[in-house]
Amino acid sequence: MYQLKTPEQLTRMRRAGLVVWQALREAGRGVRPGVTTAELDQVIRDVFQRCDAEPLFEGRPGRTRFPAVSCISVNEEIVHGVPGPRRLKPGDLLTIDTGCRLEGWCADAAVLLAVGPLSSRMEQLAQATRETLQLAIDRMGRAARWGEVARAMAAHVRRRGFSLVEGYVGHGIGRQLHERPDVPNHPAQLARTGADFPLQPGLVLAVEPILALGGKQIRVREDGWTVVTADGLPAAHVEHTVALTPKGTWVLTGPPEPQERDWLRRFGFTV
Ligand code: MG
């Protein structure tokens, strides 16, 4: 049903994950009032170029080909925000989502960032979104099937008083950005497709919960890409590429361990 990765392949995916981590970190350093989302996208492009990594978002087919190397979604934008002339302002909450392929292996992650202080409700939304991803990562290490993780995520979001957006799913990842299986965040999505699956060592998933402050209804803007909340209220999205190993979960897009920093420094980054 889906391909499991060998330990050697996971090590190679980790390298791609470190490049994604570095790209998101450099872009995050550029987040401030007045910067445009296109400028942040350029920072990510430069990192990929320095590492000789292939950007995976640019050129993706849709009504028009996706024009950037990252998706940057601000406030009411849920996913697939197209970087452009939008200038960030204090109080904005944004998700930067990107992926690359390095020496044949892919990684995909998204971070949630704030421009200055957020309203308390948006701060809670951001916190709940990060918690939901962390909870999923923790639960993946001991659950037998993905459905258990999805149920735990949905219960957490409900407790925190937000909506879990159902229209988009995480995915398997490996040589391709999107591989089997689909990874729904909500048990209702699983129930509709009947596609629950076992969790076992060697499985690598891009896990990406999306929370909304208001309702979960969505619409797509005229650009054919940017997905926004129907009620115009903020949404938040985070993502990691997560591997299951015999010892538990390994966040392939997580920050470098001390011994991995030298590898990143070879490209001239300050880590
Ligand atoms: Mg993804």
- pLDDT for position 177: 97
- pLDDT for position 192: 84
- pLDDT for position 271: 85
Task: Give CA angle at 260 (71, 14), nearest 5°.
Answer: 50
Distance 233 CA to ligand 1 centre (A): 22
Distance 171 CA to ligand 1 centre (A): 6
Name the H helices within the chain: 7-29, 37-51, 120-140, 146-160, 187-193, 258-265
Sorted by sequence, the CB contacts under 8 Å of residue 90 that are 6+ apart come out as 33, 115, 116, 117
Distance 23 CA to ligand 1 centre (A): 15
Distance 252 CA to ligand 1 centre (A): 13
The 10s digit of each residue's pLDDT in 37-52 is 999 999 999 999 999 9
Ligand 1 (ion): which residues have CB within 5 A? 108, 206
Distance 100 CA to ligand 1 centre (A): 11
Distance 104 CA to ligand 1 centre (A): 17
Instruction: Answer whether CATH 3.10.290.10 is correct for domain 7-265.
Output: no
Distance 150 CA to ligand 1 centre (A): 16
Give the integer Cα–Cα distance in Å for 77 and 230.
10
Distance 152 CA to ligand 1 centre (A): 20
Distance 107 CA to ligand 1 centre (A): 9
List the chain residues with pLDDT less than 50: none
Decide if 243 contacts 249 (C-beta within 8 A).
Answer: yes
- pLDDT for position 167: 85
Decide if 96 contacts 24 (C-beta within 8 A).
Answer: yes
Task: Give CA angle at 185 (183, 188), nearest 5°.
Answer: 105
Give the integer Cα–Cα distance in Å for 186 and 183.
9
- pLDDT for position 213: 97
Decide if 70 contacts 98 (C-beta within 8 A).
Answer: yes
